[in-house]
Structure 1
Amino acid sequence: YTYIGTIGQGNFGKVLLAENDITGEQVAVKILEKAQFKSEQQRLHATREARLMATLRHPNIVDVKTVMEDDYRILIVMENLTGGELFDYISNKGSLDEKEARRIFQQIVLAIHYCHENNVVHRDLKPENILLDSERNVRVADFGFGNNWHKDRHLTTYCGSPFYAAPEMVSGTPYIGPETDVWSLGVILYVLVCGRLPFDASDLPALFAQIKRGNYQKPREGSIDVCSLIHRMLTVDPKRRATLTDVLRSRWM
């Protein structure tokens, strides 16, 4: 690969634009510098991200070409996506009409449903971690907080963005995994339709209090069907919360 330029900068390294010397294909290379890991947990997250992304194969998940590692760094070679982040698209456009919101959301849900079927939870779903190609098709990215889940085992790590975190996560309650992704997807759906966050406060204690109560302003912009789906996904009790199978079978979808 030949270096072309820098796409972005993360906590543990850079994302570079490079070209395959044989095929001429442009790729994104995520470089994780091991010297930047401040704890064993950070190192574990990085190696787990590389492993998970290399094994997941879905049209709406970022395609990883290869993973390389030496004593100093981990390199994840991925497809180069030119459509930017979903976050920027929403920020520039504001709320989306339901037809466009549905098309984007269906692709995200199908990707995460595939992950769950393969015993993987993402745990950091937010518009910043959803990339778009040139035709605005979705690629879910950044599995740094991803993990394997099992119905008979609880996870305990609090991770992800506070604005998209499920009540059980901000409460420190052990969780299985998929139910927390469903909550985050419910927040994303709200953002797509309304152009704003359902849970928003000036400090974390106030934000967490809102999330634990499921206290959000019901969408004024959406149809009855999309409002019903958001309500089912943003149900505080994880046992009563919609599953992704429920979401895929919903009237709105």
Structure 2
Amino acid sequence: MTTNSLSRSNTFKTNSTVLSLINDHYHSMFLNTNDELELARFGLRVGSTLGTGTYAKVKSAYSEQLSHKVAIKIINRRKAPADFQRHFLPRELSILQQINHSHIIQVYDIFSYGNKLCIVMELAKTDLLDYVKLIGRLDEDKARKMFTQLISSVDYLHQINIVHRDLKCENVLLDKSFDVKLSDFGFARVVQTNELSHTYCGSAAYASCEILQGIPYNAIPADIWSCGVILYIMVYGSMPFDDSNIRKLVRCQLEKKIHFSRHKPLSMECKQLISSLLEPDIKIRATIVHIKNNDWIKGHTMSTINDDSSKAISLSAVARTTATTQKLLSSIVNNLQESTIKTMKKTIPDNY
């Protein structure tokens, strides 16, 4: 992945033989028929498949009880990894039953049949990644509206001690009015004040430098970093960092080499907000309070940045870096454990 392109942030899949694919296809046909019959018993008329993973799929359906369309996540317990069923799934189900916010996907029902667990939830129109791919980078007013809604949902979660840990454009859904609906709480968890997380979660392209270094991290600032990546994608239509090489990615993050394109005019206030969100030092990284009080969020923008100013901002952190700090950064990057990098590539398949 390069800074000039957007792609879905999924983990690697293993290749299957042609015979295996054929068997899976016919097996899937029978499963789909059974799913439809079982779901009909719950008053759900199944429609098209919206997405599939290694051990889950999402289908559209019409709910006779609610009298409108819904989405159903169907998790196959038989295929799901033991670690997922033991840790991640119970956490997700518990959290889904706790949360209620206008910019978080609403869950209507949770039930099971056989080896399947079903989560019936609000149906969205699209997700932010597909939306940006379709129309290109967003103008600042539209981005401000969506980003404010996203921050509202993240703030709500943090207020009740829940961290998402997988904030990315694919999980920022949009309804028919193109309002934000945050989704996918598979990696979410409840945290206590100043509690550190030890599990790599999410996608490298959206992960903060402390996560990518494989050290215990505070998940709240890590969520804020991911919001910064999302805002950058909104206003630039590309990624802020190239994640094809993890060591290079961490170096760029630590040196704050954020590429502000001279060919895509953006207000100084918006660039400054992005810079404060993608701050490698968590002690000075923007907080929710800072974001809500930010001039750009409030619509107070004075001017767009010219070419020279853009360079100055993107290189400001590098200019302040001393030779000693450069040596420290090299040590940090070069000593990234291979196990950490391998772990990033073995995140729960497809984020189910």
Question: How would you bin the TM-score normalised by the shorter chain?
Answer: over 0.9
- For structure 1, which segment, 46-55 or 152-161, has the greater mean C-alpha deviation from structure 2 after superposition? 46-55
Task: Describe the superposition over 1:147-172 as per-residue Cα deviations: whole angstroms up to 9, x where unpaired.
Answer: 11111421111110100001111111
Partner Cα separation in structure 1 for residue 261 and residue 188 of structure 2: 30
Residue equivalent to 1:10: 53
Partner Cα separation in structure 1 for residue 189 and residue 54 of structure 2: 20
Match of 2:47, SS state, is: strand
Residue equivalent to 2:119: 76
Paired AA for residue 285 in structure 2: R
Residue equivalent to 1:209: 251
Partner Cα separation in structure 1 for residue 283 and residue 261 of structure 2: 24
Partner Cα separation in structure 2 for residue 152 and residue 22 of structure 1: 43
1:54–1:67 CA contact under 8 A, matched in 2: no
- The answer to whether structure 1 residue 34 and structure 2 residue 67 are counterparts is no
Paired AA for residue 143 in structure 2: A
- The answer to whether structure 1 residue 187 and structure 2 residue 229 are counterparts is yes
2:206–2:225 CA contact under 8 A, matched in 1: yes
Match of 1:53 among 86, 93, 96: 96
Residue equivalent to 2:309: none
2:205–2:243 CA contact under 8 A, matched in 1: no
Paired AA for residue 181 in structure 2: R
Residue equivalent to 2:291: 247
Partner Cα separation in structure 1 for residue 243 and residue 208 of structure 2: 15
Partner Cα separation in structure 1 for residue 247 and residue 267 of structure 2: 32
TM-score, normalization: structure 2? Answer: 0.68
2:164–2:188 CA contact under 8 A, matched in 1: yes
Structure 1 unaligned regions, length at least 5: none
For residues 151-170 of structure 1, what are the structure 2 equivalents within 5 Å? 151-170=193-212
Residue equivalent to 1:62: 105
- The alpha-carbon distance between structure 1 residues 247 and 219, as it changes in their structure 2 partners (threshold 3 A), is farther
Structure 2 unaligned regions, length at least 5: 1-43, 298-352
Question: Could you say what the CA RMSD is over the residues aligned between the two structures, in angstroms?
Answer: 1.6
- For structure 1, which segment, 197-206 or 128-137, has the greater mean C-alpha deviation from structure 2 after superposition? 197-206
- The alpha-carbon distance between structure 1 residues 231 and 22, as it changes in their structure 2 partners (threshold 3 A), is closer
Partner Cα separation in structure 1 for residue 121 and residue 198 of structure 2: 30
Partner Cα separation in structure 1 for residue 161 and residue 112 of structure 2: 25
2:73–2:119 CA contact under 8 A, matched in 1: yes
Partner Cα separation in structure 2 for residue 9 and residue 41 of structure 1: 17
Paired AA for residue 99 in structure 1: D
2:204–2:243 CA contact under 8 A, matched in 1: no
Partner Cα separation in structure 2 for residue 201 and residue 76 of structure 1: 32
Higher share in helix: 2
Q: Which aligned runs of 4 or more in structure 1 are off by greater than 3 angstroms?
A: none
Residue equivalent to 1:228: 272
Partner Cα separation in structure 1 for residue 281 and residue 119 of structure 2: 37
Paired AA for residue 126 in structure 1: K
Partner Cα separation in structure 2 for residue 19 and residue 201 of structure 1: 40
* Identity rate, percent: 35
Task: Describe the superposition over 1:114-147 as per-residue Cα deviations: whole angstroms up to 9, x where unpaired.
Answer: 0000111111111111111111011000111111
Paired AA for residue 284 in structure 2: R
Residue equivalent to 2:338: none
Partner Cα separation in structure 2 for residue 43 and residue 218 of structure 1: 43
Partner Cα separation in structure 2 for residue 222 and residue 43 of structure 1: 46
Match of 1:89 among 103, 120, 131: 131
1:37–1:43 CA contact under 8 A, matched in 2: no
Partner Cα separation in structure 2 for residue 43 and residue 84 of structure 1: 31
How far is the alpha carbon of 1:15 from its aligned partner? 0.6
Partner Cα separation in structure 1 for residue 247 and residue 79 of structure 2: 30
Paired AA for residue 44 in structure 1: H
2:77–2:85 CA contact under 8 A, matched in 1: no
Paired AA for residue 59 in structure 1: S
How far is the alpha carbon of 1:71 from its aligned partner? 5.6
Task: Describe the superposition over 1:67-119 as per-residue Cα deviations: whole angstroms up to 9, x where unpaired.
Answer: 113562221110111x2111001011111110011011000000000000011
Paired AA for residue 175 in structure 2: D
- For structure 1, which segment, 63-72 or 133-142, has the greater mean C-alpha deviation from structure 2 after superposition? 63-72
Partner Cα separation in structure 2 for residue 205 and residue 95 of structure 1: 28
Partner Cα separation in structure 1 for residue 86 and residue 55 of structure 2: 10
- The answer to whether structure 1 residue 150 and structure 2 residue 192 are counterparts is yes
Residue equivalent to 2:143: 101
Partner Cα separation in structure 1 for residue 118 and residue 86 of structure 2: 13
Partner Cα separation in structure 2 for residue 36 and residue 154 of structure 1: 30
Residue equivalent to 2:170: 128
Task: Describe the superposition over 1:12-68 as per-residue Cα deviations: whole angstroms up to 9, x where unpaired.
Answer: 211111222334321111011112222324542123222212221000000000111
